[in-house]
């Protein structure tokens, strides 16, 4: 059924999307609703924490918001991935002195200040002298001095307190472990059953890591379900970035672990490289982790955090993400509102669009790409309120969004799945509506939906992009500029 008029369906007033992480702070449906009203366009369900029953209720609450506001909302189920951890300590923790020797071994005996179990045979098989082992998000840094079949002897370049089951990063070599653990397979099956729109694949190192997830995302009918977002958080992924982008449906710049395994000053240029490489393909790219970190406890961010978010928006990222700020923070609604306000302020800057378009995204030699580029040119040349795209697969929406047009992109699709998936694309406003059967119906529906969703009034104009014959995927072959007349507005309002 077509969406009915609702005064709360007005466009967000910005093009970059906000992805908010759910958690204990959003367990109350009213809080989740307030995050949506504050500006959240999509929600991340972190499978590293919480039980399936809790996540199922969260997803149900998000779908209830969809029904209330009649707007597609993307859900990204983020898999934990193969986290490497040390064993346990006799006293629960120990202190490694700066410059001291410390050994990782295979003994299951509780650890102390000189040694601890490392229950990952894969590391022993590939680690080399001179390489680094980082513990507790890089707070402890150790350099490998010698290796045997059962022990890795290190020197602590930076010591500190180490405790039970702390995470270990191995930044200088590729670890031959699968991207999916048994827990991830269970979580992925659950996410597919719940109808998650995106799957976040953690700790991707190589293109092959995406293959198993793809297989598990095939439905009983043999068709793929959901879209796959590769999280770039390992240095090894950078070496094969373009191959990973080609195989993924979207990319997340997961700066948390990336910032642990690389020097801090290396992350900003890599962020820009990943954003640009993904934007060239038209696939959505998300910038994530620690964007407004201080708002976990404070109602206001630091100036540096505001600049960090602003830079991601200036870079043309499709979405920016909040993690603990909304999952477990004291000010989740304020964090979303702050991120929305930063994005709006940046996008009002007269230099914003020229900066976003500094990346040349030449169209491929296809009719659909040429028309998407033409839509951007039309929006630059004549005054239009929006570009209306009819699509059954979402491909046309990605092509138009890749051009970063000056006006919003209203995406009309009969598919809930497509509408939710494109909700992460820059500048898009997805609308679920019945399919069209003729040129006249296309024009009439384009005008009607523009009026209904706040993209037009009397005298406004739209660029409408679609394909003939209608309802056939991959047949985009026309762009038509239409005007909304006063009598049409009167008829609509009556």
Active-site annotation, residues: 44, 85, 231, 289
Say if CB 75 and CB 197 are below 8 A apart.
yes
Q: What are the tokens at 250? A: 């979207």
Helix (H, G, I), strand (E, B) or coil at 291: coil
DSSP state of 423: G
Task: Using alpha carbons only, give the angle 23, 25, 30 rounded to the nearest 5 degrees.
Answer: 110
Number of Cβ within 10 Å of residue 54's Cβ equals 15
φ, ψ at 401 (rounded to 5°) = -65, -35
Q: How far apart are CA 459 and CA 457, in angstroms?
A: 6
Q: Alpha carbon of 239 to those of 170, 208, 440: distances in Å?
A: 16, 14, 50
Reduce the DSSP state of residue 474 to 3 states and report it: coil
Nearest of 430, 442, 432 to residue 468 by alpha carbon: 442
**Bridge partners, 155 (sequence order):** 101, 143
Q: What single string gives the DSSP state of each residue in 354-396?
A: HHHTTS--PPPSSHHHHHHHHHHHHHHHS--SEEEEE-SSSHH
Reduced to 3 states, what is the DSSP secondary structure of residue 313? helix
CB 403 within 8 A of CB 425: no
């Amino acid at each position: 059924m077509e969406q009915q008029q609702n005064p709360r369906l007005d466009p967000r007033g910005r093009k970059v999307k906000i992805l908010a992480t759910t958690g204990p702070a959003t367990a109350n449906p009213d809080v989740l609703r307030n995050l949506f009203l504050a500006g959240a366009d999509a929600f991340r369900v972190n499978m590293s924490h919480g039980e399936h029953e809790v996540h199922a209720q969260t997803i149900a609450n998000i779908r209830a918001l969809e029904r209330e506001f009649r707007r597609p909302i993307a859900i990204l189920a983020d898999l934990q991935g193969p986290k490497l951890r040390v064993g346990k300590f006799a006293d629960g923790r120990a202190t490694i002195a700066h410059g001291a020797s410390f050994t990782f071994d295979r003994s299951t005996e509780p650890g102390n200040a000189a040694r601890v179990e490392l229950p990952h045979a894969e590391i022993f098989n590939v680690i080399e002298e001179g390489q680094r082992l980082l513990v507790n998000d890089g707070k402890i840094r150790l350099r490998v001095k010698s290796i045997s079949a059962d022990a890795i002897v290190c020197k602590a370049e930076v010591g500190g307190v180490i405790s039970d089951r702390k995470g270990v990063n191995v930044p200088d070599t590729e670890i031959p472990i699968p991207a999916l653990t048994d827990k991830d397979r269970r979580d992925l099956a659950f996410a597919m059953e719940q109808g998650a729109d995106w799957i976040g694949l953690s700790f991707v190192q190589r293109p092959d890591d995406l293959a198993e997830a793809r297989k598990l995302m095939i439905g009983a009918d043999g068709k793929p379900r959901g879209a796959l977002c590769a999280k770039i958080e390992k240095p090894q992924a950078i070496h094969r970035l373009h191959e990973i982008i080609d195989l993924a449906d979207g990319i997340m710049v997961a700066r948390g672990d990336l910032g642990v395994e690389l020097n801090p000053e290396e992350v900003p240029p890599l962020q820009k490289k990943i954003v640009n490489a993904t934007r060239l393909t038209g696939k959505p790219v998300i910038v994530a982790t620690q964007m407004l970190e201080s708002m976990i406890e404070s109602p206001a961010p630091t100036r540096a955090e505001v600049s960090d978010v602003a830079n991601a928006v200036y870079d043309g990222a499709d979405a920016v993400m909040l993690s603990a700020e909304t999952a477990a923070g004291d000010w989740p609604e304020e964090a979303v509102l702050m991120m929305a306000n930063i994005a709006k302020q940046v996008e009002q800057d007269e230099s914003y669009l020229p900066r976003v378009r500094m990346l040349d995204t030449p169209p491929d030699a296809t009719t659909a790409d040429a028309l998407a580029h033409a839509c951007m040119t039309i929006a630059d040349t004549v005054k239009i309120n929006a570009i209306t795209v009819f699509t059954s697969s979402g491909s046309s929406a990605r092509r138009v969004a890749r051009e970063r047009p000056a006006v919003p992109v209203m995406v009309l699709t009969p598919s809930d799945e497509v509408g939710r998936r494109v909700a992460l694309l820059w500048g898009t406003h997805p609308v679920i509506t019945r399919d069209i059967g003729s040129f006249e119906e296309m024009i009439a529906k384009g005008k009607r939906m523009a009026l209904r969703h706040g993209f037009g009034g009397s005298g406004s104009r739209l660029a409408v992009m679609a394909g003939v014959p209608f309802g056939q995927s991959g047949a985009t072959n026309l762009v038509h500029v239409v005007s909304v007349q006063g009598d049409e507005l009167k008829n609509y309002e009556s």
